[in-house]
Structure 1
Amino acid sequence: MLCGEDVIVLVIDDVNIIQHDTFKDSVKNFRIVCRLWRNRSSESVVDSNRDNNWKIPEQMQLKLEECLKGKSYTLFKKHSNLEIISVSAFRSKKHGKELVFDPCIVLYCSCKGVVPYSEEEFPKEIDGIKIDVREGFFYLFPNNHFFKRSTDLLNPLMLGANIGQQGEKKEGTLGGFVTLSNGKIGAITCSHIFFDVNSNSPSITTFDVVQPSFGYKYTNEICGQHEKYVLPSNTAQDVTIDASLIRLTDRIPQRGMFADLKAKDLTEFGFKIEKLPEYSNGATRDYCKEQRNRMNACIKCGAGSGLSRGFLHLNGFAARCRDTTFSLTNPPSQEQCTYLSQLEIVGTLQKAFADFGDSGALVFQVDPPSTEDGDDQLFCIGMIVGGTSYCTTVVTPIEPVLKALNVKMHVFPQEHMDES
């Protein structure tokens, strides 16, 4: 219902789909309300354009995050039109035209002001914390639009490489290198670049992985074999995992170097062109257990959008991922899964942190050098799975991923760490 009126809400991807504004049955006419999937409402960009001088106090931030981790699963079960649960330093008034500093939980829905039939309205507050309702969507970051960019055959392989399943036109990013149980080197990425996240038991799970992806000029240069996967579950859990393990068979790396580095991006983000950044020591930071260094910048190098810089916004982000195969449908009828206890990263005003094709890319927190002549230290904090309609990036914490796949980040021998 909308303002006491019975309506039909359609979430669509083309404004020309609907030819009439009413749906007639034998009794009455219903008004149709259309919402464009991924359309950015004025309120949805509140956090993207917020004043960085207005920060949520640390204790309040921790309180908000604990509330999200405890209530997200129940909220998704009760409200079928709920898409994202996040936090904001501001409450939005007059459709985003007026902002009031008041840390709150934000519920993003597919159509604001609409209450699905037989369901309750969103709560006004949770555990004493105020609620702000906005429109927004969550979506994954695989890339089916393989023709948008070029990717070289990489030998040896590098972090951020474009990869895919042999013979398939879907692609993603080689995230990082890991040590397998037999001591050999493997790689990790997101499982949704290979499988439907709503499929409980894929029919084929062992197959060749190519770099670059088959979609890039229809190449089939095999670099490894898919060995293990973990798909999101629709049951209550601590952290939702969406990850795949690849056993490398060709072009084995000797260092953790990055692909697609541009001089402009390197200098802008404070790196030295004569000494390229690398991730060879396997260092991680577990945000499931620690909260330190939250304000340090984050970087990622993805096959879709290259090198980018951002900051950790939230630990405890949750969202519902719907099957987007059908656009003219009632949301509760769609296949769906929830991503719980994720990290949320915000980019800069000049560039979003991630885009399509970046699924699987690792996210690193950058600690400044401990000495004047030292190097920045990279700590892996997670792996990109998707993003929101208001341009933030969703990242799965790295330690649960490694545990689920039963691997560790690969540490390259020190003798290979000479300068480029």
Structure 2
Amino acid sequence: MCCSVSGKSPKDEHDSKRLFQKNLRSSDNIKQRNTRNHLREICQRHGRKSQELITECDFICKQISSIVNVVNVYPAWNENDTTKIVFVVTHTGTNVEDDIKSKFKDHEEIDVITKAIDCFDSYCKDYQGHLREDDVKRLEACIDKYVERLAKKHRFLTLIEGCASKMNDDNDNNEPRLGLYVPAKGYIPIDEDPFDESYDGIRVDVREAVYERFRKYAKDVHTHVKMGCQIERKRKTGTLGLFVQHPFYGLCGVTCAHVLLDDEEKKAYNNKKFLDPEDPENFVHQPSPPHDIGVIRKVIVKEDARYPIGVEIAVIQIKKRGPNSGQFPAPRQPQPHGNGLEFNSGKICGKPNENDECFKFGCITDYTTGIVIKSIANARIEHDEHGTSIMRGQIKIQSSCSKPFAKHGDSGGPVFVHDSNGEVACIGLINAGCTRRGEAFVTPINIILQELETPNLIPFHPKNASLLRELTILKRDHSVMKEKIDRLLSAVCSGRQDSTLKRKKRKKIDFCPLSALEGKTLR
């Protein structure tokens, strides 16, 4: 998309640096600064990676970032025209292109490409071809070797994945490729160089997608918390995942760490031996304050290239409104198979098969269905002001319904398959994904339980559910009885105090009257 604007670039730039600094002082000079030709001139004169060009582009990026629904924006170049600057804008919602045009309507032209990241496209799927075992091993070794280097050099790279490229009509004759996913194919950030054409002899296949964490708001209050309902802490929200019986903290809920903590907190809380259960900062609410359900007791984060399977989870000690069944929240829209579905067995499936059908519950998209698809040695990358995080070895899911498998707010949601006996078995928790492609990444359940030092999930068999309900009733009756006893004790104590006061008064009257001493001899 091109935003057309009017006005002229400075004709006379005897001292470009002085003019450059002058233009920085006020946004009133945007007419001089936000021009296609002006950016090209700076690029030609000072270079694509120069601080002059970066600072000019930063100013424009801030103007675009202020528009509602813009998620990210960065200046980029294309190998076909190395001095033309294009702004890549990722966004949610609609009308962003019109808003950008309106923002720059009185000024000269800038080149903008917009990419909606929350628009599901059911046709946006990769070729799932077969690869020989030796090619799979080559891809795994290649990703293992280069993931950290690529993550550091390319800050908008969001996924590295081994994939197959079709060479002819024979499905068994496919070429291994290194899939590198970026927001806009062909547009390279101005301070970066292109990807190599190949790594260790494996050709690169640049693909267009943004994989990101899912996090947002929902508003249902549950008398007994359920898998799939919304939780919140300090304005950060997501989905409550699974329930475990922790060896130290008892009944606990598990979700993704990024649902409840920002990146700085994740590093501070990671594997911390003691998190104060009385500190309100650690309280977790469902769905929002003041409806607290418990407190964060443990955070485990392994987002590093060293770990073949990444994990980032938060453990919530449930103190109020504990679960009493394996039920999920009711979907906001009736589903043919999602109504009344339960997860009672506590069964897990650590390594689902390719093409296995699956489903999940999240607090935003509710019940959705998908298919486990092949993903060779994937590594999802995320950059922020605190550094780079790399999540490897996640399970990849492709939506099989008319909407994305997950969206913002669904992080932490549990994902399930049906085992060979037809029973529901958990494969993990939603961690991230790409809304446009309808794909999601799931942290495997076996690594989650391993990190928690817990052998299994809490089963909700009918007998267990009945016992939990009876226990809830007993607790309620105990509370009522305790309240009655406290009132009786209070009344008794009050009565005793009244009696004591009366006796003391009588003693003073009976034994201390002055008239009683008249005419008596004291011995």
Displacement, 1:156? 2.1
Displacement, 1:174? 0.8
- 1:124 is aligned to 197
- 2:320 is aligned to 250
- CA deviations 1:333-354 (Å, max 9, x no partner) are 7854222222211002512111
The structure with the larger Rg is: 2
Paired AA for residue 307 in structure 1:
Y
CA contact (8 A) 1:81 1:111 kept: no
Q: Does 1:56 align with 2:130?
A: yes
Q: Structure 2 regions of 5+ residues with no counterpart? A: 1-76, 168-172, 467-523
Change (3 A) 1:101 1:48: farther
Measured in 2, the distance between the counterparts of 1:318 and 1:80 equals: 14
TM-score, normalized by length of structure 1?
0.73
- 1:82 is aligned to 157
Displacement, 1:303? 0.9
Q: Does 1:6 align with 2:6?
A: no
Q: Does 1:351 align with 2:403?
A: yes
Change (3 A) 1:190 1:128: same
Paired AA for residue 213 in structure 2:
L
Measured in 2, the distance between the counterparts of 1:212 and 1:104 equals: 44
Q: What SS class does the counterpart of residue 5 from structure 1 fall into?
A: strand
Change (3 A) 1:35 1:396: farther
- 1:241 is aligned to 311
Measured in 2, the distance between the counterparts of 1:70 and 1:21 equals: 50
Displacement, 1:409? 3.4
Aligned residues: percent identity?
A: 24
Measured in 2, the distance between the counterparts of 1:169 and 1:413 equals: 31
Aligned with residue 446 of structure 2, among 396, 399, 402: 399
**Structure number with higher helix proportion:** 2
Q: Structure 1 regions of 5+ residues with no counterpart? A: 24-30, 93-99, 215-219, 324-332, 370-375
Change (3 A) 1:334 1:197: closer
Counterparts of residues 376-415 of structure 1 (less than 5 Å): 376-388=422-434, 389-412=436-459, 414=461, 415=463
CA contact (8 A) 1:125 1:131 kept: yes
Change (3 A) 1:192 1:40: closer
Aligned with residue 363 of structure 2, among 303, 306, 319: 303
Residue correspondences, number:
364
Measured in 1, the distance between the counterparts of 2:365 and 2:135 equals: 30
Measured in 2, the distance between the counterparts of 1:258 and 1:407 equals: 23
TM-score, normalized by length of structure 2?
0.60
Displacement, 1:306? 0.8
- CA deviations 1:79-112 (Å, max 9, x no partner) are 33422223445569xxxxxxx9755332112443
Measured in 1, the distance between the counterparts of 2:229 and 2:202 equals: 43
Q: What SS class does the counterpart of residue 265 from structure 1 fall into?
A: coil
Displacement, 1:188? 0.2
Measured in 1, the distance between the counterparts of 2:403 and 2:126 equals: 15
Measured in 1, the distance between the counterparts of 2:376 and 2:457 equals: 25
Displacement, 1:177? 0.3
Displacement, 1:293? 2.9
Q: What SS class does the counterpart of residue 141 from structure 1 fall into?
A: coil
Paired AA for residue 350 in structure 1:
S
Aligned with residue 180 of structure 1, among 226, 241, 246: 246
Q: What SS class does the counterpart of residue 403 from structure 1 fall into?
A: helix
Paired AA for residue 159 in structure 1:
M
Answer 1 or 2: higher relative contact order, Cα 8 Å, separation at least 6. Answer: 1
Paired AA for residue 371 in structure 2:
F
